[in-house]
Amino acid sequence: MTIKILQTKSGVTKFQVLIEIAAHQPNVRQKEIADKIGITPQAVSEYIKELVADGLIITEGRVRYRITKEGVEWVLENAGELKRYACFVMEDIISHVSTWTAISREDLKEGQQVYLKMEKGLLYVSSKDKTGASGILISDVLEGDDVGVTDLKGLIDLETSSITVCKVPRIERGGSNNVDLERLKMLAASKPYIAAIGVEALIALRKINVNPNVMFGTNESVIEAAYHGLSSLVISVDEQVSPLLSRLENENIEYELVDLTLS
């Protein structure tokens, strides 16, 4: 498999420089590019000269550059090649050397082909329920036990996950006594994974007889759950909502924000 920009290290660096120029055009600071991709400003200058000569960028004066139509096409072409290469690595290399841990739905034998399915954040295998992902067992296993699966083929389908973030007031603004408990109860019934941030959030949940699955390290926990197809309800004291939303946005995870404050 031939990857054009991966044929040489300089090809990869040239691609990186062009991406940085496109992201920050027209004012291009060569030192910032150099610091970001780990080369010298002099090297960045040389790559820029090459990009201009190749017609991939144009200069509009000192430290002012713009990517050309040809440059955009070159980026798209090579980005596509990189994506295909990544798929090649994931499907044809990593799948053969990685061992995944799953829970067996039945008694199975070593070397048997099984199908994989993610349910409520946990990976299960079965020889009967066909899915889009399959693998080979590395040992005998009894129903309900953990087992290793290798030689993975296809993609594991994930359930569509959603995150609902509920804001509750700090104690100075009433705490759990100023929370719409009826609405909270309805929301809690719709999500399998519930997290709390702050004592006010914990007590509000306890008032509807719900214990959170997690209270510490909540941000990372709900993100990891989302990656496993598990939907979450996060009850958070209002001052901690913004950091959580920023984290979700950085991970490109969609969310819904609900204010449970009564008044």
* Cα Rg of the chain (Å, integer): 25
In the chain, which residues fall in CATH 1.10.10.10? 4-95
Residue listed under structure tokens 């048997």: 112
| pLDDT for the residue 36 | 81
d(CA 14, CA 166): 45
| pLDDT for the residue 5 | 47
Positions in the chain short of pLDDT 50: 1-7, 93
- For residue 86, the SS3 value is helix
What value, to the nearest 5°, has the Cα angle with vertex 248 and ends 258 and 231?
Answer: 65
Q: What is the pLDDT of residues 227-244, one digit of tens each?
A: 877 889 999 999 999 999
Q: What is the pLDDT of residues 120-176, one digit of tens each?
A: 778 899 999 888 889 999 999 999 999 999 888 887 776 667 899 999 999 999 999
| pLDDT for the residue 113 | 95
CB distance 21 to 51 below 8 Å:
yes
What value, to the nearest 5°, has the Cα angle with vertex 177 and ends 173 and 183?
Answer: 110
What is the CATH class of 163-259?
Answer: alpha beta
| pLDDT for the residue 19 | 84
In CATH terms, the fold of domain 4-95 is Arc Repressor Mutant, subunit A (1.10.10)
Is the pTM higher than 0.75? The answer reads no
| pLDDT for the residue 3 | 40
